[in-house]
Amino acid sequence: MEAFNYTDTTEFMERDFSNSKETGTEIKIENVSMVFPDKNGGEPVTALQNVNLEIKQGEFISLLGPSGCGKTTLLRLIADLLQPTSGNITVRGETPRDVRLKKKYGIVFQNPVLYDWRTIRRNVCMPMELMGMKKSERTARVTKMLELVGLLDFGKHYPYELSGGMQQRVGIARALAIKPEILLMDEPFSALDEFTREKLQIDLLRIWNKTNKTVIFVTHNISEAVFLSDRVVVLSPHPGRVSAVVDIDLPRPRDMECRQTPEFFDYMTKIRNSFEGV
Amino acid sequence: MEAFNYTDTTEFMERDFSNSKETGTEIKIENVSMVFPDKNGGEPVTALQNVNLEIKQGEFISLLGPSGCGKTTLLRLIADLLQPTSGNITVRGETPRDVRLKKKYGIVFQNPVLYDWRTIRRNVCMPMELMGMKKSERTARVTKMLELVGLLDFGKHYPYELSGGMQQRVGIARALAIKPEILLMDEPFSALDEFTREKLQIDLLRIWNKTNKTVIFVTHNISEAVFLSDRVVVLSPHPGRVSAVVDIDLPRPRDMECRQTPEFFDYMTKIRNSFEGV
Amino acid sequence: MKDKIKNIVLPASFGILMIALWEGRMIHKLLGFKPFQLPIPSEIIKTLSKNFNKAIIDTLTTVNGALVGLVIGCIIGFLVAVIATQFPKWGYTGLTVIATFNAIPIVALSPIMNRWFESGFGQKVGVVTVVCMGAMAINSYRGLNDLKPFARDLMQSYAASEKEVFFKLRLPNCLPSIFTAIKINVPAALMAAMISEYFAASTSGLGFGVKDNLRKGMMAMGWSYIVMASLVGIILYLFIIVVERRAIKWHASQR
Amino acid sequence: MISKKERLRVNIVWVIGIFLVWELGAFFLAGVLNDPMADAKLPYLHTIFWVIIQNFSELLGAAGLTFSRAILGFILGAGVGFLLAIVMSLSKTVEKIAFPYLIFSQMVPVLGLAPIIFNLVRDMNTSRTIIAAYITFFPVSVNMLSGLTSVDNEKKELMYSYAAGKKSIYFKLMIPYSLPYLFAGLKIAAPMSVTASILVDMLGSSGGIGVKLLYSLYSGTKDMFWASVFTSAAMGIISYSIILILEKKFIPWKKEVVQKEGA
Amino acid sequence: SSDKSATGGTETTAAETTAAVETTAAETTAAGGELDKVTLQLKWLPQSQFMGYYVAAEKGYYEEEGIDIEILPGGSDIIPEQNVYNGVANIGVTWVSSLMTYQAQGYELQEIAQIFQKSGLLLVSKAETGIASPEDLAGKKVGNWFGGNEYEILALLEKYQLDKNSDLELVQQDYTMDQVKEGSIDAASAMTYNEFGLLLESGIAKEDLNVIDMNDEGVAMMEDCLFVNSEWAAENEDLIVRFLRASIKGWAEASANPQAAGEIVYNVDKSVSLEHQVYMAEEVAKLVVPEGFDPANIGSIDMAAIQQTADYLALYNKDLAATPVVDDSTFTAKYWEEATK
Ligand SMILES: Nc1ncnc2c1ncn2[C@@H]1O[C@H](COP(=O)(O)OP(=O)(O)OP(=O)(O)O)[C@@H](O)[C@H]1O
Ligand SMILES: Nc1ncnc2c1ncn2[C@@H]1O[C@H](COP(=O)(O)OP(=O)(O)OP(=O)(O)O)[C@@H](O)[C@H]1O
Ligand SMILES: [Mg+2]
Ligand SMILES: [Mg+2]
């Protein structure tokens, strides 16, 4: 994978561990429903119905579920980008809004959502500007982040000059750059080849390990979900409900070998079955 | 998967078999290079360099390769949406342009590329309008296609009301609806969960079997590539070159079971290795 | 529904406040104006109601000319944008040419149009047409060409003809810009129609009324014509907004 | 992409084309139809040019005066239009409240406006600039606002997710996104500012193209009238071209789109 | 006085026409020191219609009176009454009928001198239209500029019992004479000194034109006069007298030698040919000093004529806010009397 430099890019990701020891409830989702009215007079779409979920501080959670079942919607609700039709979400005992305003979230969107008028470097830079970071620090961090996702050579290009997978990686770099405490990732690796994906999975785990972030990770790849997560939440569609929650008790740190173990396959089968039961 | 109806949706896909018996060269790519100049004064990007490839009529070919290696670019060259910097492409002995003008191509883009102002139904309808199809036929076909991809209920919605995976499925439905003779699919299933993906894989194979299309299929999923293809072409990045071509001699028709066979795993390993050799 | 009420109540109450301040001569105090320099609303309304029939006829005269000119001007502007889009090499310069017309003041256009058209109506339509072309040409050119990535590729992959690309892609993509242009052109057309009447060979129309009365110092009458023009402008604008909401409900601006 | 050289060639062909069509039209009117008013309807272009050449320095001086005022009015007008659009985009309520008044403002003719503005600022020169700006701001405002309201939801959500302040949202997202719309507005407003400046010339100014225009119109000197009209058109072309150049500088990421058009 | 000049609306530019006027003033003022700034708002563009002021400025008569004069040209969007009332200018030139409508509205404006003793308004038509006398206007298209310029025409129609709405079509003229030339209107308003001359200059022979003169028809209304804001006048009585003295001197000289006056105006603005300016000067002279009028009385206010104007106005302007008041508060002769003492 000549596109990547496997230098250790995690040391600058360290964050303030002041409250990392408490592993209480980080995110509490109670009876949340989300209905989208159809503006053209059709039937409203119930994206989520009575979803209940508790996510612990520092936990790595994956959301799985068929296309259109409400994963993105749930993420958007947690991030206060949408307000639930009914039910309640608290994050660290506060409303998602308060947490958002404290800039605790980092989001990788399902589409890369890059700003056309900014070069790749400046796209990655953007959240740091919002944080009021110093220019020199920004520059250093952007460089490290682009190195991490293998796009250092493309820093001065504009988004339209990048391939789909490259754009997605820019989105990942951007979200990680600000060291968010709560990381919401919506199918971040879907447009990546298996090798880039595996590399980024390992990198992500390393960062997570070091910094004790809470990660909510949407994916369609069951193996990826098992490999990364403490817990896998399976949603069922129309309307979206939690159909299964699977604890993954594989030892950490995990490496590629653990993917070959029978336990790993057991988990995959278990999840696949919970899927099919839908 | 309650979202889908497994009715047989292929009978209307049958096409004129008049010249399906000859299995000559369908697409010939000779020494093709593609260089994107950087408009902002940076170094030009060589997306493809001296690519040679022959694709037979009725063949199912998968393109694999790391993110940014030029898969999409190659597809766009074949479809005459880009012109190569050097080298030559012929399709059925003609230029890609001629073939495009004869409306032989059906493309699933990496991003869904839906038109905001059209409902889902009318998005799927669009190519058929271009073909000058009768309204009644269009309506019938759109219904079948939306059924195939499990979106019948969303026909009257606008694209922004759909999830990422749903949008991608609309793109698939749109490309298949016109029964193209050459089907170019750029990571069509990347945003879909494994079950929807498997269902659509099977459907795609069935359609392909019946109609003898030539399919060029870009994917990052090695297992998917092996399962679907007659041949897997692996590209290496920067600049994009063909690094390996693997013939898949698994018997057809294939079903889910064949994925468990040792041959299948052998092919996967082989391809993975050719990848790593990069 | 609640929003709708809010949308009416808020501007209305603000308007009432302004009118009250005006009526209470606060605005006069601010500007150091005597009431006869800037008539108070009640006087305007009184004058207007006294001359209502004539005001309506004058309004219709002006609005007819403005609307016809608006339509013709918008069509011409749009066609120029289409030509510039379909024949980028040769047509593009047309945009500059048509934009240039905006630099010719109505004061100069009107006498020219007076020579070309015998009737006051024709002259008015001519002036308004010229005034409306530029905004439409420039905006619709933007709309016809600012396509989302790969939107055109999709069309090309199906070997869509230029005509199909135009009608199925460019035109719908352009609709929001067309509305933007119309929003600019509605007041511009009314104003142009009015100013053209300063020079028109007739003694009717809002413009004539405004000029004739203001020049004679009959401010209340002059301002009642301005009020009529504003009402027409606001009604037309609202109409455009309503049509827009229906026509481009898929657009980000309407969500 | 059409090269600069080719663009120049095309433009030359246009100029020649317009010249020929005009001359033919003028000939048709004067020579064939024998229209007695031909010199008022469509005088020969070469005679207009001849008058322009003869009075070149005089016209240039007048144009300079008008153009400098136009620039001032344009900057002020565009600035106000831009700010108004921002304010209106901040809240739908403000937009709803403001729009009837904006329309109303556009319906007050200079004749009624001039005394009000003068009484407000008590200085004729300032009044002139304000009136010129007043005439120019509307298209900028409407176009900018339509840009601001067209921003994709996703792009905004990215900003929200970082709890970006209003200022950041505007400077980093809304305004850059709306630049193409803004420039469309500026392209409309730039030639209009020339008109506005000419109109303001007529408010008792003692120089400028507007005065030339009015005098020649009133005194029946047709040649000079048309020469003034052409001078104002020329100023329109210049102002439009300036905006085009600025647009190219400020919107580099649109290059690809431009390229495709040429294909 | 520099701060005052800012409010006066001066343009300090190369094309500045009044600057030329100011700098050519040869003599210095008797006072030798500070000059009082006075701005004069013309009704229309600089032309021989206003030659008296230009001659006075050129010859330095204003400076002799200790006045720094600035002459503001008029234009299509300029209303002298508004400008004088608002303080854009100190003194204005307008038609009496127009001044009266403003006075009736409540504008405290007063006339200080009557420059034109006669009406200069004509109705001209091409001979082929057959309008030999006002009766022939019936069924015709008749042009005027409106906005306060139409009352004499209305009076004429009234006199001949022609209904302005039904018996003929009264339409607005643009600022050219093209409409008569092309025949889109039958009879057009024309000032003896300007439009009529333009018609002749454009090659139409005098014999081919029919002319109706308002003076001959006895419906003349008073035209160009000087007026001021009454409040300002009360504080600047002496200045007004000095201004009038210089202006009258200028007018007397201009009327005596229109050729030279026309040249002076031509030098201020060359948009119109010298011949036309001279022609205009000669015609204007006939209005300022009509046959049998004592040049010593230039600027005197004939209250009877003013009263006739007021009567016609009251008759034809239905929307007039009040009946015009004709007395010393609105038409004040005292400044003129002081100036000509
Ligand atoms: N329009 C363009 N302008 C400049 N460079 C481009 C353009 N399109 C693609 N490239 C470059 O060409 C290379 C190949 O891009 P391409 O989209 O073909 O990759 P890909 O194999 O499809 O990758 P992915 O799997 O991420 O979609 C990339 O390095 C990209 O930066
Ligand atoms: N803005 C919207 N308006 C209307 N309906 C919406 C909107 N956003 C989402 N929906 C509907 O809500 C449901 C869930 O959408 P969501 O995007 O959460 O799915 P998802 O689980 O993320 O799917 P995918 O895996 O395909 O991304 C879908 O049926 C979709 O049609
Ligand atoms: Mg999603
Ligand atoms: Mg790709």
C-alpha A250/C-alpha A166 separation (Å) is: 31
C-alpha A251/C-alpha A265 separation (Å) is: 14
φ and ψ of B42, to 5 deg: -80, -170
**A131 is written with which tokens?**
């944080």
The closest of D232, D224, D231 to D192, measured between CA atoms, is D232
Do C29 and C101 lie in one domain? The reply is: no
Q: Name all residues whose Cβ lies below 6 A of ligand 1.
A: A 160-166, 191; B 36, 45, 47, 65, 67-73, 110
* Contact yes or no, E with B (3+ CB pairs under 8 Å): no
Taking 3-state DSSP, the helix, strand and coil percentages for chain C, each rounded to the nearest 5, stand at: 85, 0, 15
Q: Is the pLDDT of residue A9 over 70?
A: no
Instruction: Give the per-residue pLDDT at E15.
Output: 39
C-alpha A15/C-alpha A20 separation (Å) is: 10
Domain that holds residue C205: 40-254
Q: Burial of C228 by CB count in 10 Å (0-12 exposed, 13-18 middle, 19+ buried)? A: buried
C-alpha B239/C-alpha B47 separation (Å) is: 5
Contacts of B74 (CB under 8 A, 6+ apart): B29, B32, B48, B51, B63, B235, B240
**Contact predicate B70/B47, CB 8 Å:** yes
**Contact predicate A179/A13, CB 8 Å:** yes
CATH 1.10.3720.10-classified regions of chain D: 57-262
Do A243 and A147 lie in one domain? The reply is: no
Residue matched to tokens 């659009």: D85
Q: Which residues of chain D have pLDDT under 70?
A: 1, 254-263
Give the nearest ligand 1 atom to B70 CA: 18
C-alpha B12/C-alpha E60 separation (Å) is: 101
Last residue of a domain, one of B153, B179, B205: B179
Instruction: Give the per-residue pLDDT at C254.
Output: 80
Residue with CA at minimum distance from ligand 1 atom 17: A163
**Contact predicate B201/B155, CB 8 Å:** no
What percent of chain E stands above pLDDT 90? Answer: 52
The closest of A206, A102, A117 to A159, measured between CA atoms, is A117
Are E107 and C203 inside 8 Å of each other by CB? no
CA angle A246, A250, A254 (to 5 degrees): 125
Q: Is B64 helix (H, G, I), strand (E, B) or coil?
A: strand
B155 touching A, CB under 8 A? no
Do B120 and B217 lie in one domain? The reply is: no
Do B76 and B135 lie in one domain? The reply is: no
Instruction: Give the per-residue pLDDT at E27.
Output: 40
Q: Is B212 left (phi over 0), alpha (psi -120 to 50) or beta?
A: left
Q: Is the pLDDT of residue A188 over 50?
A: yes
Do B244 and B120 lie in one domain? The reply is: no
Residue with CA at minimum distance from ligand 2 atom 28: A68
Please, what CATH class does the domain formed by D57-262 belong to? mainly alpha
Do C194 and C225 lie in one domain? The reply is: yes
B165 Cα–ligand 3 center, Å: 7
Q: Considering its fold, how many domains does chain A have in total?
A: 2
Instruction: Give the per-residue pLDDT at B23.
Output: 61
Instruction: Give the per-residue pLDDT at B12.
Output: 41
Sign, Cα dihedral of A31, A36, A37, A42: negative
Residue with CA at minimum distance from ligand 1 atom 13: B47
Do A208 and A273 lie in one domain? The reply is: yes
Do B191 and B276 lie in one domain? The reply is: yes
Say if ligand 2 is within 6 A of residue A71 CB.
yes
Cis, peptide link before residue B253, omega less than 30° from 0: yes
pLDDT of chain B, 278 residues: tens digit per residue: 333 333 444 444 443 434 433 467 889 999 999 999 877 667 888 999 999 999 999 999 999 999 999 999 999 999 999 999 999 999 998 999 999 999 999 999 999 899 999 999 999 999 999 998 999 999 999 999 999 999 999 999 999 999 999 999 999 999 999 999 999 999 999 999 988 999 999 999 999 988 888 999 999 999 999 999 999 999 988 788 999 999 999 888 888 888 889 999 999 999 988 876 55
Q: Is D33 helix (H, G, I), strand (E, B) or coil?
A: coil
Residue with CA at minimum distance from ligand 2 atom 2: B161
Kindly state the helix (H) or strand (E) to which residue E51 belongs, with its residue range: helix E51-59
Q: What is the CATH number of the domain that holds B249?
A: 3.40.50.300
Greatest Cα-to-Cα distance within chain D, rounded to the nearest angstrom: 73
C-alpha B187/C-alpha B191 separation (Å) is: 9
Q: Is residue A27 part of a domain?
A: no
**Contact predicate C103/D233, CB 8 Å:** yes
Domain that holds residue B71: 59-85+96-104+180-278
Do C24 and C118 lie in one domain? The reply is: no
**DSSP codes of every residue in C185-240:** HHHHHHHHHHHHHHSSSSS-SHHHHHHHHHHTT-HHHHHHHHHHHHHHHHHHHHHH
Q: Using CB atoms and an 8 Å cut-off, which of residues 68-97 of chain A contact chain B?
A: 68, 71-73
Q: Which residues of chain E have pLDDT under 50?
A: 1-31
Q: How close E318 gets to chain C, by Cα (Å)?
A: 11
Task: Name chain E contacts of C219, Cβ cutoff 8 Å.
Answer: 105
The closest of C53, C25, C34 to C228, measured between CA atoms, is C53
For the stretch E55-68, pLDDT in tens is: 999 999 999 999 99
Do C107 and C233 lie in one domain? The reply is: yes
Last residue of a domain, one of A179, A203, A229: A179
Last residue of a domain, one of B179, B201, B223: B179
CA dihedral E210, E47, E184, E319 (to 10 degrees): -90
Do B198 and B208 lie in one domain? The reply is: yes
For the stretch A21-31, pLDDT in tens is: 446 788 999 99
Interface test mutation site (partner C, options B75, B82, B117, max chain C beta carbons within 10 A): B117
Interface test mutation site (partner E, options C58, C216, C224, C225, max chain E beta carbons within 10 A): C216
Instruction: Give the per-residue pLDDT at D207.
Output: 80
Cis, peptide link before residue B239, omega less than 30° from 0: yes
Do C58 and C146 lie in one domain? The reply is: yes
C-alpha E145/C-alpha C203 separation (Å) is: 10
Do C21 and C44 lie in one domain? The reply is: no
Instruction: Give the per-residue pLDDT at B14.
Output: 41
Are C191 and D109 inside 8 Å of each other by CB? yes
**Contact predicate E90/E62, CB 8 Å:** no
Residue matched to tokens 């004061």: C107
**B101 is written with which tokens?**
């003008």
Kindly state the helix (H) or strand (E) to which residue B30 belongs, with its residue range: strand B25-36
**Contact predicate A202/A254, CB 8 Å:** no
D125 touching E, CB under 8 A? yes
pLDDT of chain C, 255 residues: tens digit per residue: 566 677 677 777 888 888 898 888 888 888 778 878 888 899 899 989 988 999 999 999 999 999 999 999 999 999 999 999 999 889 999 999 999 999 999 888 988 898 888 788 899 999 999 999 999 999 999 999 999 888 999 999 998 999 999 999 999 999 999 999 999 999 999 999 999 998 888 888 999 999 888 888 888 889 999 999 999 999 999 999 999 988 998 888 887
Q: How far apart are the first and last CA of chain C?
A: 15
Q: Burial of C15 by CB count in 10 Å (0-12 exposed, 13-18 middle, 19+ buried)? A: middle
A16 touching B, CB under 8 A? no
Q: Is residue B172 part of a domain?
A: yes
- Neighbouring CB atoms inside 10 A of D204's CB total 25
Buried b (16+ CB within 10 A) or exposed e, B71-100: bbbbbbbbbbbbebbebebbbbeeebeebb
| Residue of A120, A161, A167, A170 to test ligand 1 pocket, by largest number of atoms within 8 Å of CB | A161
β-strands E36-41, E67-72 pairing? parallel
Do A229 and A135 lie in one domain? The reply is: no
Instruction: Give the per-residue pLDDT at E191.
Output: 92
**Contact predicate C155/B97, CB 8 Å:** no
Give the side-chain half-sphere CA count within 13 A for E155: 25
**Contact predicate E87/E190, CB 8 Å:** no
Q: Is residue B211 part of a domain?
A: yes
pLDDT band at A277 (very low <50, low <70, confident <90, very high): low
Buried b (16+ CB within 10 A) or exposed e, C64-102: ebbbbbbbbbbebbbbbbbbbbeebeebbbbbbbbbbbb
For the stretch B176-224, pLDDT in tens is: 999 999 999 999 999 999 889 999 999 999 999 888 889 999 999 999 9
Greatest Cα-to-Cα distance within chain C, rounded to the nearest angstrom: 70
Sign, Cα dihedral of B203, B205, B209, B211: positive
Do B275 and B223 lie in one domain? The reply is: yes
Do A277 and A229 lie in one domain? The reply is: yes
Q: Is residue B17 part of a domain?
A: no
Do A149 and A194 lie in one domain? The reply is: no
Q: Where are the beta strands (DSSP E) in chain D?
A: none
Reported pTM: 0.90
**A71 is written with which tokens?**
């994963």
Q: Which amino acid is at E69?
A: I
Do A191 and A274 lie in one domain? The reply is: yes
Q: Where are the beta strands (DSSP E) in chain E?
A: 36-41, 67-72, 91-95, 109-114, 121-126, 141-144, 169-172, 187-191, 209-213, 224-229
Alpha carbon of residue C11 to chain centroid: 21
Q: Which amino acid is at D245?
A: I
**E267 is written with which tokens?**
């030098």
Contacts of C213 (CB under 8 A, 6+ apart): C219, C221, C222, C225, E319
**Contact predicate D236/C99, CB 8 Å:** yes
Do C24 and C44 lie in one domain? The reply is: no
Q: Is A48 helix (H, G, I), strand (E, B) or coil?
A: strand
CA distance readout (Å), C133 to B269, C81, C96, C119, D70: 65, 10, 11, 22, 21
Q: Considering its fold, how many domains does chain C have in total?
A: 2
Q: Which amino acid is at B195?
A: F
Alpha carbon of residue D214 to chain centroid: 20
C-alpha B180/C-alpha B215 separation (Å) is: 10
